Amino acid sequence: MKPEDFSVRYVPVVEPFFTRNGWIALSAFALVTLVLLPGLYVFVPEGNALHVSAYTVTLGGKIMCYAIVAMAMNLIWGYTGILSLGHGVFFALGGYAFGMYLMRQIGREGQYQSDLPDFMVFLDWKKFPWYWTNSDSFLWCAALVILVPALLALVFGFFAFRSRIKGVYFSIITQAMTFAFMLLFFRNDTGFGGNNGFTDFKRVLGFPITAPATRAAIFGITALALIGTIFLARYLIRSKVGRVLTAIRDSESRLMFSGYNPLGYKLFIWTLSAILCGIAGALYVPQVGIINPSEMSPANSIEIAVWVAVGGRGTLIGPLLGAGVVNGAKSFFTQAFPEYWLFFLGLLFILVTLFLPKGIVGAVGLAKWRST
């Protein structure tokens, strides 16, 4: 056999970025979220059978924000093997950073007709605190959405990973971190509205925030952010960095024996995960209309882990399914049986742990394998 024949016959097979079905599903999702739902909401009048309500658009946007958070959690837990129970704090910080801009956009339309937010007037504050500087700038607050969670994650992660804290100990200190921030933001003297947080938003970039066109635009931007997160996650998984991350998950000691220092890789994916949560929080606030310290509660961070576990950690589609299924069930139960929601969530997590250790995606894959 000639060398040139060998080079032709044994070209390595490159894994496609997405399968054919994956591209079809992604295209269908883009069509529905970018064209169909916004169009039916904005252009079809109320009372028409095809009209999509504002509630549906808001709920869909909220679930897509949660799906971004689930994807972020999957990067750090599913692919790197580091369970965080504090991702709620990054989500909330992103929401607060953008909420500062939305509060400044209220202007003198508040109850006290002051340039200061109502909660500052109520507390007899005379001027904005220093960390509210430039908060009337959209670009500055958009930068804070990324920088604040990134800085917190970078500092926290550096000391935690350098000290080789891992496993349940890391999970506990992340939960302690989010609990500490929740207590801090509950205080009125922090300048973030205390237990009420930020609410009563009026406009964003000069557009009325409750106008159908504005709601539809934010909904579409959220869909684009989710699609971008999917592409980013897929790119990382297929890259050399992704292979190192899975090696950290499977056997960090062997990776270190091979000459790799896992600190930089863990710090990178931990910080990136925090940034994605911050972006999701910033998109969440104008759609839901409120941000308060309860978003930092340890229970919320645990719920994020439940989304990933239910869908299937270590898979691309699993966190999306988990976020959709759990939050869809939450929307139903909190309306029909509000007193039983937490019991249902706990039961769901127990059943998944016992009978679906690889989540919905793993169960479907196992069923396909058995049928062949």
Residue 349 has pLDDT above 50, yes or no: yes
Q: Is residue 303 part of a domain?
A: no
Q: What CA–CA distance (Å, rounded) separates 119 from 183?
A: 18
Q: Look at 133 and 356; give whichever has higher pLDDT.
A: 133
Residue 21 has pLDDT above 90, yes or no: no
Q: How confident is the model at residue 12 (pLDDT cuts 50, 70, 90)?
A: very low
Residue 194 has pLDDT above 70, yes or no: yes
Q: Is residue 78 part of a domain?
A: yes
Residues 45-80 have pLDDT tens digits of 998 889 999 999 999 999 999 999 999 999 999 999
Q: Is residue 367 part of a domain?
A: no
Task: State the Rg of the chain over Cα.
Answer: 22
Q: How confident is the model at residue 335 (pLDDT cuts 50, 70, 90)?
A: confident
267, 161 Cβ separation under 8 angstroms: yes
Q: Show Cβ contacts of residue 41 under 8 Å, excluding neighbours closer than 6 positions.
A: 51, 52, 53, 54, 56, 57, 212, 215, 216, 219
Q: What are phi and psi of 117, to 5 degrees?
A: -60, 155
Q: For residue 191, what is the DSSP state? A: S
C-alpha distance from residue 255 to each of 165, 236, 267, 280 (Å) = 17, 18, 16, 32
Q: What are phi and psi of 179, to 5 degrees?
A: -65, -40
Q: Is residue 169 part of a domain?
A: yes
Domain count, the chain: 1
Q: How confident is the model at residue 44 (pLDDT cuts 50, 70, 90)?
A: very high
The pLDDT of residue 10: 41
Q: Is residue 51 part of a domain?
A: yes
Write out the E strands in the chain.
198-199, 203-204, 207-208, 290-291
Describe the chain by its helix, strand, coil percentages, rounded to 5.
75, 0, 25
Q: What CA–CA distance (Å, rounded) separates 277 from 73?
A: 9
Give the count of beta carbons closer than 10 Å to the beta carbon of residue 216. 22
Q: Is residue 309 part of a domain?
A: no
Residue 327 has pLDDT above 80, yes or no: yes
Q: Is residue 372 part of a domain?
A: no
In whole numbers, what is the pLDDT of the chain averaged over residues? 90
Token pair of 320 as six digits:
């999306």
90, 274 Cβ separation under 8 angstroms: yes
Give the count of beta carbons closer than 10 Å to the beta carbon of residue 232. 14
Q: Is residue 188 part of a domain?
A: yes
Q: How confident is the model at residue 264 (pLDDT cuts 50, 70, 90)?
A: very high
Token pair of 350 as six digits:
């127990």
C-alpha distance from residue 70 to each of 169, 199, 200, 314 (Å) = 22, 25, 28, 11
pTM of the predicted structure, to 2 decimals = 0.93
Token pair of 218 as six digits:
């934010």
Residue (of 287, 231, 246) closest to 27 by Cα position: 231
Which residue range forms the structural domain that includes residue 259? Answer: 21-298
75, 242 Cβ separation under 8 angstroms: no
